[in-house]
Amino acid sequence: MSQELTDAIVGIREDEAMALVKSMLEGGTDPTEVLAQARDAMTELGRRFECEEAFIPELIMGGEIMKSIAAELKPHLKGDESSAKLGTVVIGTVQGDIHDIGKDIVVMMLDINGFEVHDLGVDVPPDAFIAAIREHGAQVVGLSGLLTLAFDSMKATVEAIAAAGLRDQVKIMVGGAPADAQVQDFTGADGWGNDVTQALRMCTEWTGGEAR
């Protein structure tokens, strides 16, 4: 069924994708596994876009399907909101990139696991990250991007945070489908991830908490 869900999302067949998600949940599939499979589909759409096999409308429509899937899964992932927040995270898609699918999933998962999350949106310039760090006293900054062109913006943002005298106050993670250890080294970040589990693990370790 995982390939069916991937094919439905990549093929922009929303009704089919949502029916598959509901069927998987009713069949006992772990909701985090459903998220992972949907993420794989978005990764494939991103690859096709970079190869000019898909275009902006497909990315936008795929993103809308992904948001519907995330909304369907959220009640199944809901954690305990009664206790204090584990830590504060500022996150955004870096300047020059408008993709928010992966970011939105990370935001949702951090929120339901007890973090205070400030989502800056997409195409976020370095000074907006700096202002948010100061305003919210963030401990973690998440820099997201789907396309490889985002790497230079991630590096520039890390450098701007350092120039503002805030680098020692925050841990910085870079994320997105193409992220890897080399991207971490290039940007000067503290960690990298290309799925929500890695992001949650890093935030939990860096804030000294325990995700719910």
Q: Which domains does the chain have, with CATH numbers?
A: 2-77 (1.10.1240.10), 88-207 (3.40.50.280)
70-79, 111-120, 174-183, range with the lowest pLDDT: 70-79
What local confidence, expressed as pLDDT, does residue 196 receive?
A: 77
Tell me the two tokens of residue 175.
């994320």
Residue 160 and residue 127 in contact, taking contact as beta carbons nearer than 8 Å: yes
CA 31, 113, 178, 90 torsion: positive or negative? positive
> Does the pLDDT value for residue 90 go beyond 60?
yes
> Does the pLDDT value for residue 2 go beyond 90?
no
> Does the pLDDT value for residue 94 go beyond 50?
yes
Radius of gyration in angstroms for the set of CA atoms belonging to the chain, rounded to a whole number: 17
**Cα distance between residue 148 and residue 110, in whole Å:** 25
78 band by pLDDT with thresholds 50, 70 and 90: low
What local confidence, expressed as pLDDT, does residue 42 receive?
A: 78
Residue 13: count other Cβ atoms within 10 Å of its Cβ. 14
Strands 171-175 vs 88-93: parallel, antiparallel or unpaired: unpaired
Residues 5-11 have a mean pLDDT of 93
Residue 70 and residue 108 in contact, taking contact as beta carbons nearer than 8 Å: yes
Residues 66-83 have a mean pLDDT of 74
